[in-house]
Amino acid sequence: MSYAALVARLQKGGPVLLDGPMGSELVRRGIRWRKHGLLTDQQTVEQLHREYLAAGAHILRTNTFQLNPRVYRNVFRNARHMQHIGAPGLQDLAQRLARAAVELARRARAEAGLEHRVAIAGVLGPLEHCYRPDLSPPPATARAEHAEMARVLAEAGVDFLLLESMNTLGEAVAAVEAARATGLPVWASFVPGPEGELLSGEPLVEAARAVTQAGASAVLINCGPPELLTDCLRRLVRSVEVPVGAFALIGRFSPPSWKFEFHPQFIETETWPPDRYAEEAAIWRAIGATIVGGCCGTGPAHTAALARRLHIEVQPA
């Protein structure tokens, strides 16, 4: 019923309000990125979901961005090495964390009494660092690894799957195919490079058409500055027949890295306060976007500003 409500809004032309980021906002609140806060800080993760619901979001994203077994395997020489010196349970830790993430989103939605009006998106990110398309594995490998996590999220009870910040055409199509095998609807979102194409340099329009042919029900652009996404949307809305949308980052990414043991921090976010961000999103709507939300550096205040500017009624329990 929750995804059906989403489809009904899209069929009417939207707007559909996506929530904001989990990782960068949790870090801003002092939560370490290690294990996504899903072992030590579940209360804070669930509270953030509740705040996005209170701000008017129609969609909650699971706190599973870039959560997959590969990120743990990558710090060892091979599986035998991991078994030899690795902590117990690393082999299936990603799957267990993903189930916990879905449970927290579902619990926040249930406590708000919004089971029939808010959809939960199971998030699948790139298998490697989202800003490093050169590390993307071959499509056959990507398909198998995405299929594993897609099944976990589907079995845990998400309403649809969202491929977030995909950075190459090959992995995006493979991930759509793997996600579609669960029987759930699939949305695909791309991270652009500064020239407005995929971060890999491949044409954005070509990638958008390829994922819709593979079965994606919506195409979005995210994890780029707001004005860049505006330019990308002008091309997307003319190129595909499925709903399109955007959720931008604000500020500047401050490494060391986007890994479990480091902090995915975004600085100088004050240059895009909530009302300014919402004004840019109003341009997205005018262009033809039906799905809007926030990416890295934004938070519940930006989601609330979007709801006000786009005249989205906050949903009572």
**130-169, pLDDT tens digit by residue?**
999 999 999 999 999 999 999 999 999 999 999 999 999 9
Q: So where are the chain's domains? A: 2-309
Query: Do 226 and 277 contact (CB within 8 A), yes or no?
Result: yes
CATH code for residues 2-309: 3.20.20.330
| Dihedral of the alpha carbons of 305, 247, 314, 309, in degrees to the nearest 10 | 40
Between the alpha carbon of residue 143 and those of residues 133, 166, 174, 177, the distances in Å are 16, 13, 5, 7
Residue 260 has pLDDT above 50, yes or no: no
pLDDT in tens, 23-59: 899 988 888 767 788 888 999 999 999 999 999 999 9
User: Which pLDDT belongs to residue 208?
Assistant: 98
Coil/strand/helix, residue 133? helix
